[in-house]
Structure 1
Amino acid sequence: MAGRPPFPPFDAGTAAQKVQAAEDAWNTRDPERVSLAYTEDSVWRNRDRHVQGRADIVAFLTEKWEHELDYALRKELWSFTTDRIAVRFQYECHDAAGQWYRSYGNELWEFTEDGLMRRREASINDRPISESERRIFGPRPEDERGVPFPVW
C-alpha cells in the first residue's frame, strides 16, 4: 500500500509513532516535506485560518516559518480511535525583534486508510517568554522521546 505509515486502524503504539513522525517532520521546518503527510485536498483550521490542499499548506507553513524563527516543537499523544488522533503540543520560537514565545495547543487529526491526514484542526494560545525561560531547543533528543512535557 502506498501512503504514509503507520496506517489506521491505530493502536497505542502506532498512534504514538504517528505523533512522533509529525513532530520530527515539523521540526525540519521544510514546508514541502511536511505537506506530504496530508492528502491533496486536506482541510485545516489553524487558529483563525482555514487552509485547503497541499499547495495552501506549503504556502501557510512557508509564511509561518518566515515569522516564527528558530521554531522547535514537542507533540504528545492525547487520545486516539481507529482513524483519529488527538494531540497536545508546545512550541517555542521568536519573532524578528527577538521576542520569544511559547505556544500551547491541541490538534485533532483524521486519517485516510493510506495514513495521510485529511483533516487537521488546531487551537493555539501564545505566551511571551524570556529567552531564559526557554526549554525546547531543536528537535527532541532520542532519550526524551515519549517523555511527557509540563503543562506550563
Structure 2
Amino acid sequence: MTTQNLRHPLPPFTSESAREKVRLAEDGWNGRDPAKVALAYTPDSVWRNRAEFPNGRQEIEDFLTRKWNKELDYRLIKELWAHSGNRIAVRYAYEYRDDSGNWFRAYGNENWEFDDNGYMASRHASINEQPIAEADRKFRWPLGRRPDDHPGLSDFGF
C-alpha cells in the first residue's frame, strides 16, 4: 500500500483525529458529489441507511445520486459522539427541501468502522425526519462546506 492510497487520518483514532475525520466526512457530504464521496469507502463497504442496504462503492454512489437529486439545498452538520480504535460514532442533522418547496430536518446517529488505510468499511445509520417551516431552518450557509464559525449541533441544542 502506497502513501497515496491512505485516507488520513488513520486509525486508531485520537479525539483530535476522530473530530478531523468527522469534519472531513461532513465536508464531503456537503459537497454533494456522489462519485467523490463514494471514494471515502472501501470497495466492499457495507451500509445500513433507513430501509436501504448499499454494498460497495457503486451502490453507494447510486444511493447518494438518488438522495441528492431528491433532497435539494442539502446542508449537513456532523458531530463526534464517541471513538475507540478504528470506530467512530457520530450524531448529525441535515436540512433540505423537496421539489415542491417543503423543508425537512433529519436527525440521526451513525456508527462507522474503518480499515487500516482510513477507508470506511461499514456505516450504520439511524435517521428520523420531520417537516419544518422555511422560517425554522437553522443551516443557512451557502451550499458547500459549512463555515468554520457556523454553529454546530450542540450550539443549536440538537
Q: Same fold by TM-score, threshold 0.5 exceeded?
A: yes
Q: 1:141 aligns with which of 132, 136, 147?
A: 147
The match for 2:18 is 15
Residue deviations 1:24-50, cap 9 Å, x none? Answer: 000000001100100000000001110
How big is the shift at 1:91? 0.1
1:101 aligns with 2:104: yes
1:37 aligns with 2:40: yes
Within 5 A, what are the aligned runs for 1:1-152?
1=3, 2-137=5-140, 138=143, 139-144=145-150, 148-152=154-158
* Partner SS, residue 144 of structure 1: coil
How big is the shift at 1:144? 3.3
Change over 3 Å in CA distance of 1:146–1:134 after alignment to 2: closer
Residue deviations 1:59-80, cap 9 Å, x none? Answer: 0000000000000000000000
CA distance in 1, matches of 2:82, 2:93: 16
CA distance in 2, matches of 1:83, 1:129: 36
How big is the shift at 1:145? 7.3
Change over 3 Å in CA distance of 1:149–1:89 after alignment to 2: farther
Aligned-partner residue type, residue 83 of structure 1: N
RMSD (CA atoms): 1.4
Q: Are the counterparts in 1 of residues 77 and 152 from structure 2 also a CA contact under 8 Å?
A: no
Using the size of structure 1 for normalisation, the TM-score is 0.95
* Aligned length, in residue pairs: 152
Aligned-partner residue type, residue 104 of structure 2: Y
* Partner SS, residue 7 of structure 1: coil
CA distance in 1, matches of 2:157, 2:84: 24
How big is the shift at 1:111? 0.2
CA distance in 1, matches of 2:52, 2:155: 27
List alignment gaps of at least 5 residues for structure 2: none
